[in-house]
Amino acid sequence: RISTSGIATGSTIDSPILRKDVSLRGSQVGVTSALFDSSDNALEFNDNVKLKLGNSGDLSIYHDGNNSVIENATADLNLISTGDDITLSSADDILLQVDTNKAAVNAKGLGEVILYYNAAPKFETTNHGAVVTGILTATGFSGPTNNTSGISTFYDLRVSNNLTVEGTTTTLDTNLIG
């Protein structure tokens, strides 16, 4: 137990046990930058006080008064969920939410990724490609169009070589030339 008033000096204290609130002060005298609040077991940081990690302080976590920020100054920022479930179930997901119970992105443990709009799934990766719920709009397309299913609509369709139609075709108001 140490009790002082004024300036105190001493030798190194090994493994101190602090049972009450502990204030950590920054550069301004009397202003607490961080506080360990023993009543709710929380290390609380004031706005714009950064928790820095790494030998060079490359990773910072802080709140600037408006936004909560994770700032990475070098290389990639990796979010890794290893969980404790060896079957890679939902416990291994990385879920980004915009509000409680409103998913925006869910990277699932087995490799599936789901993108949401207004908490509704719109784009899901699968082991054979992707599933889009709703309308997919693209400025271009590359790849084969064989074995397509569903409804396909083309405007100003131009066929340069042979046109093969499989199945029944209904043609309305069409002029064939050549």
When pLDDT is averaged across residues 45-52 and rounded to a whole number, the result is 88
When pLDDT is averaged across residues 142-168 and rounded to a whole number, the result is 71
Q: Are 65 and 47 in contact (CB under 8 A)?
A: yes
Q: Are 34 and 27 in contact (CB under 8 A)?
A: no
When pLDDT is averaged across residues 143-169 and rounded to a whole number, the result is 71
| C-alpha dihedral sign at 120, 125, 131, 137 | positive
Residue corresponding to tokens 């001493």: 10
Q: Are 92 and 81 in contact (CB under 8 A)?
A: yes
When pLDDT is averaged across residues 82-89 and rounded to a whole number, the result is 58
- Does residue 78 have a pLDDT over 80? yes
**pTM over the 0.75 mark:** no
- Does residue 169 have a pLDDT over 60? yes
When pLDDT is averaged across residues 77-103 and rounded to a whole number, the result is 74
Q: What are phi and psi of 9, to 5 degrees?
A: -125, 155
Q: How confident is the model at residue 36 (pLDDT cuts 50, 70, 90)?
A: confident
Q: Are 80 and 91 in contact (CB under 8 A)?
A: no
Strands of the chain, DSSP E: 22-25, 32-37, 42-45, 51-53, 59-63, 68-72, 94-99, 102-107, 113-117, 120-126, 129-132
Query: Per mean pLDDT, which range of 4-8, 67-71, 77-81 is the poorest?
Result: 4-8
- Does residue 141 have a pLDDT over 50? yes
Q: What is the CA angle 140-141-147, rounded to 5? A: 155
